[in-house]
Chain A
Amino acid sequence: MNPFKERKNILDAIGKITRLTFSTDEKAADVMKTCPGCGEKYGTGELAAAKYVCPSCGQYISMTAYERVSQIADEGSFREFNKARTGYDPIDFPGYEKKIQKMRKDTGLKEAVVTGSCTIGGEKAVLCVMDKRFMMASMGTAVGEKVFLAFEYAVKKKLPIVIFTASGGARMQEGIMALMQMARTSAAAARHDEAGLLYIAVMTDPTTGGVTASFASLADITIAEKGALIGFAGQRVIEQTIGEELPEGFQRADFQLEKGFVDMVAGRPELKDTIARILFIHGRRRH
């Protein structure tokens, strides 16, 4: 094919992606959320339409994993994997079972990550979204297993994978077995990489600790959501170590861009377009 014509086709297709409409989840429209920036109250439907950016003050409002999925996946395309998958209590940690039960009741989630397959701008992909409402999206045996299995599915089906990371780190209550999830998810990411498949990480607020030090940092293309806190050690610990206060903006998305650890910082409203474009370009390469 004429390379100029091919280029035009690609640009046309990208234009099409940009014009795609986003789905909104109307079911939960009666649940009100309050903007932490200005105190304004919004219905979920209204917020979804505004892409979870406060219409009056511009503040990013926390999204649940399913809200994120509905913003990123094409409408009706998401098929969830291992929805009922849970972890276990490997070190019999006092009070842990009870805490997990409460978390499940409060969030309606079984665990801190939602995984599945979908299309994004018409491109097939595996999508994982961590949900910080569930124990700060800490990684234990369930999160590790679900992310691991999502990578394996992507390898088996030769699909790209998109992961929205958010985490307080490895889950303390699961001890060493939580730490081992860093090795498991990293090995799974490596195998996906060796298969020549694309991995896009979107680091959202906050991506820290053992998740930063494993799969979150192993993507081909890394996007930081505007304003997200991204780092390994906690700020309190660093300040104790160095005996001084950290500067404003330390470990934030723009800091990581400046230091060279992310490819770009994207605003929430542009995320879907950006991901769709990257997927599109990779979907058109020669095999």
Chain B
Amino acid sequence: MSDEKDIRKAAAEIAFGEDLHAEEQEAKGAGASVRSGRKTAAQDAVEKVMKARSKERPVVTEYIDNIIEDAMYLAGDRCFAEDESVAGGIGLFRGLPVTFIGHRKGRDLEENIRCRFGMPNPEGYRKAIRLMKQAEKFGRPVIAFVDTPGAYPGKEAEERGQGQAIAECIKTMSRLCVPVVTVFTGEGGSGGALAFASGDRLIMLENSIFSILSPEGFASILWHDGSRWQEAAKVMKLTARDIKDLGVCDEIIPEPEPEEMHEKRFFDTVADTIWRNLGPLLSKDEGELVRDRYLKLRKTGSKYGRN
């Protein structure tokens, strides 16, 4: 592939100033420099990637269990298998019947491995499609949670149509006749994250990220060196702030101290935000809802619609 050479050459041309490398050394030494006030947006991005992936953060099922009353988990894609890396089900959100879907990374190592650290196989996306269509049938809004490094890049995933499953998931969500609100709680990498993020409203926690690929994957593709992920994070514009500035994220939820993120008060804030975003969508009829979602997408990502 001749383009690889071009990309490598282009990467060599990219001038990462020495000052950036100096900052990188600093970051390795001290996380405490966060509050020193000297940090740049680039450095902030590196820290946010680490925070978004922190094991101290609540996992998606913790949000579900705290926000949805009587959350009932449903399993299986009705084609091939149950994929635990996608949590999905039904419950009541402040008295309103809803369907929820989200990435499950797992709470301990054993669960991490079963869920491939939140990287779904095609079955996970097909299960989400099934639950979204079910939500449509019964007129339930969909609340989606994103926390994934990306879709699982496995041999069997390819054999069972990973690309096709993601495409169908995006298509289904983008045309669903019920409101869809998405919350990014941790990392949101590539098409695997986008599969749950083509709905009506996109909300991000302050330290969540949304990126075209994991910073490691990005560095690996452009520079053939995944270990240069920090450099990648600095240029990718992946923080919630960046994503909002680009017009893709609608609202950012401020985060308390890490240990306070497991407290009821924080989950209430997240629930309030979802509720506030869901409200105006509930008053729209089906046609209006789907048309407005399309118009939003039409504008987002067009150079003519940019902020």
Cα distance, A168 to B72, chains bound together (Å): 40
Q: Are B153 and A241 in contact (CB under 8 A)?
A: yes
- Identify the stretch in A10-18, A119-127, A172-180 within 8 Å (CB) of chain B at 4 or more residues: A172-180
Q: A95-B10, A194-B175 are in contact. Are A238 and B153 (CB under 8 A)?
A: yes
> A117-135: which have CB < 8 Å to B?
132, 135
Q: Are B3 and A168 in contact (CB under 8 A)?
A: yes
Q: A135-B3, A148-B298 are in contact. Are A172 and B198 (CB under 8 A)?
A: no
Inter-chain contacts of B10 with A (CB < 8 A): 95, 99
By secondary structure, the B interface counts as helix
Cα distance, A218 to B171, chains bound together (Å): 8
Q: Are A214 and B170 in contact (CB under 8 A)?
A: yes
Q: Are A91 and B237 in contact (CB under 8 A)?
A: yes
Inter-chain contacts of A271 with B (CB < 8 A): none
Cα distance, A237 to B268, chains bound together (Å): 40
Q: Are B163 and A231 in contact (CB under 8 A)?
A: yes
Cα distance, A56 to B231, chains bound together (Å): 48
Q: Are A95 and B14 in contact (CB under 8 A)?
A: yes
Inter-chain contacts of B36 with A (CB < 8 A): none
Q: Are A94 and B301 in contact (CB under 8 A)?
A: no
Cα distance, A259 to B293, chains bound together (Å): 34
Q: Are B171 and A90 in contact (CB under 8 A)?
A: no
Q: How far is the CB of B301 from chain A (nearest CB, A)?
A: 4
Q: Are A213 and B154 in contact (CB under 8 A)?
A: no
- Chain B residues with CB under 8 Å of chain A are 1, 3, 6, 10, 13-16, 151-155, 157-164, 166-168, 170-171, 174-175, 190-191, 194, 197-198, 210-213, 217-218, 220-222, 235-238, 242-243, 246, 248, 293-294, 297-298, 300-303, 306
Cα distance, A58 to B171, chains bound together (Å): 38
Q: A172-B218, A176-B238, A251-B158 are in contact. Are A88 and B306 (CB under 8 A)?
A: yes
Inter-chain contacts of A241 with B (CB < 8 A): 152-155
Q: Count the A residues whose beta carbon is within 8 Å of the partner chain — how many?
A: 61
- Identify the stretch in A27-35, A42-50, A69-77, A182-190 within 8 Å (CB) of chain B at 4 or more residues: A182-190
B194 CB contact (under 8 Å) in A135, A173, A182, A217: A182
By secondary structure, the A interface counts as helix
Q: Are A238 and B248 in contact (CB under 8 A)?
A: no
Q: A182-B191, A214-B167, A217-B167 are in contact. Are A190 and B301 (CB under 8 A)?
A: no
Inter-chain contacts of B166 with A (CB < 8 A): 213-214, 232
Q: Are A212 and B303 in contact (CB under 8 A)?
A: no
Q: Say whether A57 faces chain B, with CB atoms less than 8 Å apart.
A: no
Q: Say whether A116 faces chain B, with CB atoms less than 8 Å apart.
A: no
Inter-chain contacts of A213 with B (CB < 8 A): 151, 162-164, 166-167, 170, 191
Q: Are B167 and A212 in contact (CB under 8 A)?
A: yes
Q: Are B298 and A176 in contact (CB under 8 A)?
A: no
Q: How far is the CB of B9 from chain A (nearest CB, A)?
A: 9
